Amino acid sequence: MSKPSKSASAPGKISGETPTKAPPAAPADAISDSFAEPQGTGGETHQTAGGDVAVLTTAQGIPVADDQNMLKQGSRGPTLLEDLHFREKIFHFDHERIPERVVHARGYGAHGYFELTESLSDVTRADVLQRVGERVPAFVRFSTVAGSKGSADLARDVRGFAVKLYTQEGNWDIVGNNIPVFFIQDAIKFPDLIHAAKPEPDRDFPQAQTAHDNFWDFISLTPESMHMVMWIMSDRTIPRSLRTIEGFGVHTFRLVNAEGKSTFVKFHWKPKQGLQSVAWNEAVKINGADPDFHRRDLWDAINAGDFPEWELGVQLFDDDFADSFDFDVLDATKLIPEELVPVRIVGRLVLDRVVDNFFAETEQVAFMTHNVPPGVDFSNDPLLQGRNFSYLDTQLKRLGGPNFTHIPINAPKCPMAHFQQDGHMAMRNPVGRANYEPNSWGAAQGGPREDPVRGFTSFAEAADGPRQRVRSESFADHYSQARQFFTSQTPIEQKHIGDALVFELSKVERPDIRSRIVSHLLNIDETLAATVADGLGLALPKAAQAARPTIMDLPPSDALSIVRNGPDSFKGRKLGILLTDGADAAIFNALVKAVEKEAAVYEVIAPKISGVTLSDGTTVGAKQKIDGGPSVLYDAIAVVASKDGAALLAIDAAAKDFVTDAFTHCKFIALTAEAHLLFEKAGIADDMDDACLPLGAVKDAANFLAACRALRHWPRELGVDLDAQPAA
Ligand code: HEM
């Protein structure tokens, strides 16, 4: 196979292959002064080539003399069909869009590597899992499921966590989610699930939300989804960052070793950054303030050298365990508690490079569950089996032809040779005379041959039984693990699940659908059901008919809680510092130093984007003007204001929102004595608690950053939420 040549890429220069390095940023002195640009007869700007500046060409390479005006008959006359440059330019523009993914349309990707830290050679012959210390390139795409490509990042939704490992035995795609279970057990229900979740077909809303009748109607009639419902109503679906989510392969897969022995496996990605989520009220506001919150966060962190990292964990088990387990390991609505089968950490995934071009890489990447190397294999999970058909099929539609593996992001990075040829946009065709096998052209010209030893062989599982459309009885317990998830949460997390259910069901117009959901909750946890019924002002219905009674005493699992798996540092988090003219320079500088010591980051927010002049006369630039930098964009806030500055802030609605939102969202807050006025005028001065710390002296900065390690002061929430108040 011929390999496209690599060429260094400069802005606007087209090469045959996606460049591996971002083009160098233009030096500051190269930024043009638009006031000095040459103008044409109509006053339009004409920038011309010369020196280091390349000549603009058509896609055919023909140099372009004028890119501002169409070819006309006279300056005010009709446009001529002969204008080859205009026609080509518009033609290409007209065809820029490809269909968005039918699900997971909004996503964001990054490059990195996977490194093996513990060999799995005892259980698999997969080359990538043999030798400790070896690395393979990786590409990861995170996504939301229901929203369109242009929807907002903080939608309450499952996050896709799709990993492509470019191994020496071909691409291995682990197409997972940040939740270890799924809504449905059988792939035949996937179109129904997604239709119900997406905007309703007559009105095409709501966008990127499950809070509507169709979704909850379907769910209320699909009791197998109840475990997943607990997860999606938890804070897992409003993560603080893509860097703070777990990833799960969900299904039971197989690992197969050199002797052909199979071991069942579940895949886990555990974030070194710890788990963290935001509050719902905060998520709603982030979506308005910065719909790109998650992608910006990932882009900024990687570009700053703060590379997110996940550990690859495996839960390995055999047939005996599978037979003894309370649930069916082929049922994707069930997980295997880590307390029963510990997660063995065997590798690390590091994301260290942003994409050069979003479309070329993130949009065109094609993940497929059936991409597995020799030594990895499938189980009979009927959801997985259906997925194995769906992903290849959908790529053909989305990427327009069978040659999507020629796109650099999808091309394997190992030797490959086959006789597939032609088709739309074929970049690689077999060379030489033979394009079939068997053939008699000999080693030099005959092309590749099969390899029964190294090649992929499916695990020789025996299967028997009548052909039938049926759901296994072993899939019939719909509530026990839902209950186990709920009882494994801390009280604040349980409250959030109740709040989320009340919120979502309040958006459902039909009372009977609300009631049906509560009838399922009664089979999970009576208190939760009563709380939700109360929140909806609904009489408690009868419990839903259960195919299997709930196992009430499954032991709680700490691994299922976000709060219990948070980090113990503020590393990688962002402090928002609201500054005014005349603010204490020593305190500001101490804060900056403390932030850097904590390996965190900060942004300055000021009344004007030009920045402020501090008490010592130094000037500090602002990243955000106050109404463009609400506190929902930060993990903690500090208000460092002078007396006059605080007086100005105290009349500003955005400044008042800045502190009240931070307070409501249980964030750590630091303030100078002068800034107190803003908190008074915002109406929260009397409620301030232990997580509101004074910035009276330089040493207070470090104390404050140390306190921020707890991330949130959740007890405060009970004081600021109507639903948390005792009934009158
Ligand atoms: C455990 C259940 C599932 C998980 C974890 C899952 C995960 C994902 C992820 C992460 C993506 C986005 C891939 C990307 O970033 O490009 C995706 C896309 C997709 N999924 Fe699934 N999915 C599940 C179930 C299903 C099922 C049952 C089907 C169909 C039978 C399905 C069909 C699709 C399709 C068609 C896409 C769009 C792919 C593309 O256009 O690139 N998924 N899924």
Per-residue pLDDT tens for 214-242?
Answer: 999 999 999 999 999 999 999 999 999 99
Encoded tokens for 482: 């839902």
Categorize the per-residue pLDDT at 727 as very low, low, confident or very high, splitting at 50, 70 and 90.
low
Encoded tokens for 293: 């919150």
CB 317 within 8 A of CB 336: yes
Categorize the per-residue pLDDT at 21 as very low, low, confident or very high, splitting at 50, 70 and 90.
very low
Q: pLDDT tens across 167-207, in order?
A: 999 999 999 999 999 999 999 999 999 999 999 999 999 99
Of the candidates 420, 418, 423, 372, the one whose C-alpha atom is nearest the C-alpha of residue 399 is 423
> Which among 98, 370, 391, 399 is the best mutation to test ligand 1's pocket, defined by most ligand atoms within 8 Å of the CB?
391
Categorize the per-residue pLDDT at 36 as very low, low, confident or very high, splitting at 50, 70 and 90.
confident
CA distance 350 to 296: 18
Ligand 1 closest atom vs CA 184: 27
Q: What is the pLDDT of residue 636?
A: 98
CA distance 459 to 216: 39
**Quick one: residue 57, left, alpha or beta (phi over 0 = left, psi -120 to 50 = alpha)?**
beta
SS (H, E, C) 438-506: CCCCHHHHCCCCCCCCCCCCCCCCCCCCCCCCCCCHHHCCCCHHHHHHHHCCCHHHHHHHHHHHHHHHH
The average pLDDT across 269-293 equals: 98
Q: Where would I find the beta strands (DSSP E) of 145-239?
A: 159-167, 170-177
Q: Is the CB of 388 under 6 A from ligand 1?
A: no
The average pLDDT across 415-437 equals: 93
Q: pLDDT tens across 47-61, in order?
A: 999 999 999 999 999
CA distance 579 to 607: 8
Ligand 1 closest atom vs CA 393: 35
From ligand 1's centre to the CA of 370, what distance in Å? 12
The average pLDDT across 521-529 equals: 98
> Which among 144, 387, 392, 398 is the best mutation to test ligand 1's pocket, defined by most ligand atoms within 8 Å of the CB?
387
Q: Which of 104, 268, 496, 520 is catalytic?
A: 104
The interface pTM score, or ipTM, of the predicted complex is 0.94
Q: What is the pLDDT of residue 726?
A: 61
Categorize the per-residue pLDDT at 26 as very low, low, confident or very high, splitting at 50, 70 and 90.
very low
Q: Exposure of 455 by Cβ count < 10 A (0-12 exposed, 13-18 middle, 19+ buried)?
A: exposed
Residue found under tokens 């317990």: 477
The average pLDDT across 688-699 equals: 97
Categorize the per-residue pLDDT at 65 as very low, low, confident or very high, splitting at 50, 70 and 90.
very high
From ligand 1's centre to the CA of 160, what distance in Å? 8
Percent of the chain predicted with pLDDT > 90? 92
Residue found under tokens 């307390």: 339
Other C-beta atoms closer than 10 Å to the C-beta of 575 total 26
Q: Is the CB of 182 under 6 A from ligand 1?
A: yes
The average pLDDT across 544-557 equals: 98
Categorize the per-residue pLDDT at 657 as very low, low, confident or very high, splitting at 50, 70 and 90.
very high
Categorize the per-residue pLDDT at 37 as very low, low, confident or very high, splitting at 50, 70 and 90.
confident
Q: Is the CB of 176 under 6 A from ligand 1?
A: yes
Q: Are strands 253-256 and 170-177 parallel, antiparallel or unpaired?
A: unpaired
Per-residue pLDDT at 3 exceeds 70: no
Q: Is the CB of 494 under 6 A from ligand 1?
A: no
Encoded tokens for 178: 């940040």
Q: What is the pLDDT of residue 33?
A: 58
Q: pLDDT tens across 105-152, in order?
A: 999 999 999 999 999 999 999 999 999 999 999 999 999 999 999 999
Query: What is the rounded end-to-end Cα distance, in angstroms, of the chain?
Result: 76
CA distance 650 to 660: 12
Per-residue pLDDT at 4 exceeds 70: no
User: What's the chain's average pLDDT?
Assistant: 94
Per-residue pLDDT at 722 exceeds 50: yes
Annotated catalytic residue 104: yes
Q: Is the CB of 392 under 6 A from ligand 1?
A: no
Q: Is the CB of 645 under 6 A from ligand 1?
A: no
The average pLDDT across 571-587 equals: 98
Please state the φ and ψ torsions of residue 264, each to the nearest 5 degrees: -70, 150
- Residue 265 pairs with which residues in a beta bridge? 253, 316
CA distance 630 to 633: 6
CA distance 368 to 387: 8
From ligand 1's centre to the CA of 103, what distance in Å? 7
Encoded tokens for 566: 């948070």
Q: What is the pLDDT of residue 12?
A: 59
CB 207 within 8 A of CB 449: no
CA distance 329 to 135: 31
Q: pLDDT tens across 291-304, in order?
A: 999 999 999 999 99
Categorize the per-residue pLDDT at 1 as very low, low, confident or very high, splitting at 50, 70 and 90.
very low
CA distance 213 to 203: 13
From ligand 1's centre to the CA of 188, what distance in Å? 14
Categorize the per-residue pLDDT at 443 as very low, low, confident or very high, splitting at 50, 70 and 90.
confident
Q: Is the CB of 386 under 6 A from ligand 1?
A: yes
Which protein residue has the closest C-alpha to ligand 1 atom 40? 101
From ligand 1's centre to the CA of 56, what distance in Å? 40
CA distance 168 to 149: 33
Please state the φ and ψ torsions of residue 719, each to the nearest 5 degrees: -90, -15
CB 339 within 8 A of CB 189: no
Q: What is the pLDDT of residue 17?
A: 40
Q: Is the CB of 351 under 6 A from ligand 1?
A: no
Encoded tokens for 475: 């899939």
Q: Is 135 helix (H, G, I), strand (E, B) or coil?
A: strand
The average pLDDT across 638-657 equals: 98
Ligand 1 closest atom vs CA 175: 10
Q: Is the CB of 266 under 6 A from ligand 1?
A: no
Of the candidates 226, 218, 198, the one whose C-alpha atom is nearest the C-alpha of residue 518 is 226
Q: Which residues contact 393 (CB under 8 A, 6 or more apart)?
A: none
Per-residue pLDDT at 616 exceeds 80: yes
Q: Where would I find the beta strands (DSSP E) of 541-661?
A: 574-579, 601-606, 612-613, 619-620, 624-625, 636-640
CA distance 136 to 361: 18
CA 376 vs. chain centroid, Å, equals: 25
Q: Taking the CA of residue 312 as centre, how many other CA atoms within 13 Å lie in the half-sphere pointing to its CB? A: 25
Per-residue pLDDT at 5 exceeds 90: no
CA distance 579 to 5: 51
Q: Is the CB of 398 under 6 A from ligand 1?
A: yes
Q: pLDDT tens across 335-344, in order?
A: 999 999 999 9
Q: Is 149 helix (H, G, I), strand (E, B) or coil?
A: coil
From ligand 1's centre to the CA of 235, what distance in Å? 22
Per-residue pLDDT at 20 exceeds 50: no
From ligand 1's centre to the CA of 308, what distance in Å? 23
Of the candidates 125, 132, 124, 138, the one whose C-alpha atom is nearest the C-alpha of residue 167 is 138
CB 575 within 8 A of CB 638: yes
Number of residues assigned to the chain:
728
Q: Which of 85, 111, 171, 177 is catalytic?
A: 177
Q: What is the DSSP letter of 362?
A: I
Annotated catalytic residue 523: no
